[in-house]
Amino acid sequence: MLYVVSYDIPDTGRRTKLAKALKDFGDRVHYSVFECMLDSILLNKMVARVKKIVLPNDDSVRIYAICANCERAIQVIGQGKVTKMEDIYIV
């Protein structure tokens, strides 16, 4: 499933750490937005890593699940493309 992860973190160190962690799960499409193609196991791993980094009273991270029908309706205006499932798997 496609997930869109956005964040607002005022601390530069935590923000950088989160961005590096999210790169393990998806593609950065804007400064604080990632698109991630994840199964439930990878989603749980990503959420666990996010929770280790953020401070709930200071930071905001949102994870949006995009259903297959909604994914087909995504429009990109300008540069970029919607993240797609890769046909190559690294084991």
8 is in an annotated binding site: yes
What DSSP string describes the chain?
-EEEEEEE-S-HHHHHHHHHHHHTTSEEEETTEEEEE--HHHHHHHHHHHHHH--TTT-EEEEEEE-HHHHHT----SS-------S----
Q: Annotated binding site for Mg(2+): which residue ranges?
A: 8
Q: Annotated binding site: which residue ranges?
A: 8
